[in-house]
Structure 1
Amino acid sequence: MKYIICGGTGFIGSRLKEYWLQAGHEVLIVGRKIPDSHVTHPKLSYHTWDSLTSNPGPAEHSDAIINLAGSSLSQRWTPEGKKSIMLSRLETVTAAAKLLDVLKNKPPVIIQASAVAIYGTSLKDTFDESSPSHVMDFSSEVVKAWEEAADDAFSDPDIRLVKLRTGVVLGNESGAFPKMKLPYLLGFGGKIGSGKQWLSWVHLDDIVTLIDYCIQTPAIIGPVNATAPNPVTNEQFGQTIGKVYKRPHWFPLPAFALKAAVGELSEILLKGQHVFPSNALEHGFSFAFPTLESALQHLKTH
């Protein structure tokens, strides 16, 4: 099999690349530029958008395009930061569409990154893939625009489009978890704000295998919630970190302090949504880490 990963040097893309190379597949990493230091492997190659668009030969006969590219939401939401976040997502969709357009032998499936922020936030509602989008803040605005751009760009009826709506991805190397764990390791862990806000999460290994499963399962199409089937509140999340790492859960971070520290970005941590992965489960996907404690125990020992 041959896979094209756009954003393949990021948190999820790097693990996905390793997973497929270990399985013996060919992987093409595509970005704005080729990284100065990168892994070498006989079945791994690096390309820029421009080089592949002008010479698409290496990308012909690929089995899937996985578009994970885009600037992180985890930065200060200044006017300039917001513009950069929005543009990066729309531009990578446009770049992937241009690549698709020049391919004579197009892949049968595209996996497009998205996020559960599209549902808006709620303390009481549960959201699955049938729930409507609800724009109520910057993060939900970005994700809705991102998905609409993908729907327009990848509208070929012969190509299956899967929109992977990710929650908080838990891994040791990067992402949110090292920052969320750090206060506990220092002895100052506790709930954020009220602690009642929901956190829909997924282990890094599960999102990688879910991407692979979506490619291999032709019946899966449209939105797919890439979240574990057991969301937790912020309070429960902190208590579980404390239990697994044997650290106290006692030092609350008031909402006003977080807002003062990171500004509007605090909305991601102070609000949340209870998301259920109906599409994945209905199509037979099995999570290796369905509960938070099992996920954290694995991360602690690996």
Structure 2
Amino acid sequence: MRIAVTGGSGFIGNALVQYFLDRGDEVWVITRSTGRVEHKHPKLHVISWEDVQSKPERLEGIHAIVNLAGESINQRWTEDAKERIIKSRLTAAEKLGKLVRALQRKPDVIINASGISTYGSSETSTFDESSPMVTTDFLSSVVHRWEAAADAIGAKRLVKLRVGIVLGTEGGAFPKMALPYRLFAGGRMGSGKQWLSWIHVEDIVRLIAYCIDNDELQGPVNATAPEPVTNEEFGKAIGRAMKRPHWMPVPAFMLKLLLGELSALLLEGQRVLPQRAIDAGFRYDYPTIDAAMDSLVSTS
């Protein structure tokens, strides 16, 4: 299978590209700077967005496109940062729309990253793909506009992959969240009651491939594990895996001072279930937080 990946040099993208290569796929990484991606594998090709626009025929015959492009949200949300976060996502979708229109043979499927922030935050409600979208804050507004831009690409089959907190040792939230425990200073953040809907990086990579390979999956698909946990439970699981105490709470006001509006990612949450993945028969390698933590701690 020939697969194109945008955002292929990022945390999830790196793991995804390697997964596709390991199973024998031909992979085209679309990137702003071709020098950012090492491409020594015979089935790995790197192409710039400029070449995609000027020479779209180079991607003729692509079976699937995975769009992970977008400015990281893990930064202080200044007005400039907010603009970059939303613009990067809309621009990537717009460019993919132009590519799809230029191709004689359209891709069979496009997997477009999105986010679970679309459901809003709650300590009491449970959400799945049938839950309504809301626009209550910055991140939920980003997801709303992001998915609308994905709809405009014109895919034969579109999967809107609503991504939760991705856990891995090479990036994402886990290294930063584990650091206090390494220093024997781990504990809950804020009240500890806020939900954390997470997924192991190996499972999200396998889920993306599963979405490509299974025609019945389309529309919103939650990329989260089947057993979300509270912040308190998450911290205790890190402590168990690392054999460290879970005892020093971080007050909400301190996180707000340090991170500004970004602190909402740690202090607010939602209990999200991956119902469509489960119904389609996807099997998680790391369905529980303890299984995920044991894996991550043993390899970090």
Report the TM-score, using the length of structure 1 for normalisation. Answer: 0.97
Name the counterpart of 2:229.
232
In structure 2, the partner of 1:210 is 207
CA distance in 1, matches of 2:53, 2:84: 24
Q: Mark the CA change 1:36 to 1:126 in structure 2 (over 3 Å): closer, same or farther.
A: closer
CA distance in 2, matches of 1:107, 1:147: 18
- What is the DSSP-based 3-state SS (H/G/I as helix, E as strand, rest coil) of the residue aligned with 2:186? coil
Matched residue of 1:263: which SS? helix
Contact 1:4 1:27 in 2 (8 A): yes
Q: CA deviation at 1:297?
A: 0.6
Residues 158-199 of structure 1: CA deviation (Å, up to 9, x unaligned): x10000001000000001110000010011100000000000
| Number of residue equivalences | 299
Q: Trace 1:122-271 onto structure 2 (pairs within 5 A).
A: 122-154=122-154, 156=155, 159-271=156-268
Which stretches in structure 2 are left out of the alignment for 5+ residues? none
- One-letter amino acid of the structure 1 residue matched with residue 127 of structure 2: F
Residues 1:36 and 1:120: Cα distance change in structure 2 (over 3 Å): closer
* Matches of 2:39 and 2:198, distance apart in 1: 29
Say which SS state the counterpart of residue 153 (structure 1) adopts.
Answer: coil
Mapped to 2, the partners of 1:114 and 1:36 lie a distance apart of 24
Separation in 2 of the partners of 1:10 and 1:33?
13
Kept after mapping to 2: 8 A contact 1:49/1:99: no
Q: What is residue 90 of structure 1 aligned with on the other side?
A: 90
Q: CA RMSD in A?
A: 1.0
Deviation at 1:102, TM superposition (A): 1.1
Say whether 1:43 aligns with 2:4: no
TM-score (norm 2): 0.98
Which of 281, 284, 287 is the aligned partner of 2:281? 284
Q: Which aligned runs of 4 or more in structure 1 are off by greater than 4 angstroms? A: none
C-alpha distance in 2, partners of 1:248/1:208?
31
> Contact 2:39–2:46 at 8 Å: present in 1 too?
no
The Cα offsets for residues 219-253 of structure 1, whole Å up to 9 and x where unpaired, read as 11100000000000000000000011001101100
Distance verdict in 2 for CA 1:128–1:37, change over 3 Å: closer
Q: Which runs of 5+ in 1 are unaligned?
A: none
Task: Give the 3-state SS of the residue equivalent to 2:143 in structure 1.
Answer: helix
| Contact 2:162–2:221, Cα closer than 8 Å, also in 1 | yes
Residue equivalent to 2:6: 6
Q: CA deviation at 1:37?
A: 5.5
Q: Taking structure 1 as reference, are residues 48 and 37 closer, same or farther at Cα in structure 2, changes over 3 Å only?
A: closer
Distance in 2 (alpha carbons) for counterparts of 1:253 and 1:288: 31
**Distance (whole Å) between structure 2 residues aligned to residue 36 and residue 187 of structure 1:** 36
Contact 1:53 1:102 in 2 (8 A): no
Distance in 2, matches of 1:58 and 1:10, equals 23
Q: Distance in 2 between matches of 1:257 and 1:242?
A: 22
Shift, 1:39, TM fit: 3.4
Kept in 1, the 8 Å contact 2:165–2:196? The answer is yes
Once the two structures are overlaid, the 10-residue window that deviates more, 201-210 or 34-43, is 34-43
Equivalent residue letter for 1:295: A
Q: CA deviation at 1:292?
A: 0.4
- The answer as to whether partners of 2:52 and 2:99 remain within 8 angstroms in 1 is yes
CA drift at 1:13: 0.8
Matched AA of 1:210: L
Conserved? CA contact 2:114–2:147, under 8 Å: yes
Shift of 1:103: 0.9
Q: Which amino acid aligns with 2:188?
A: K
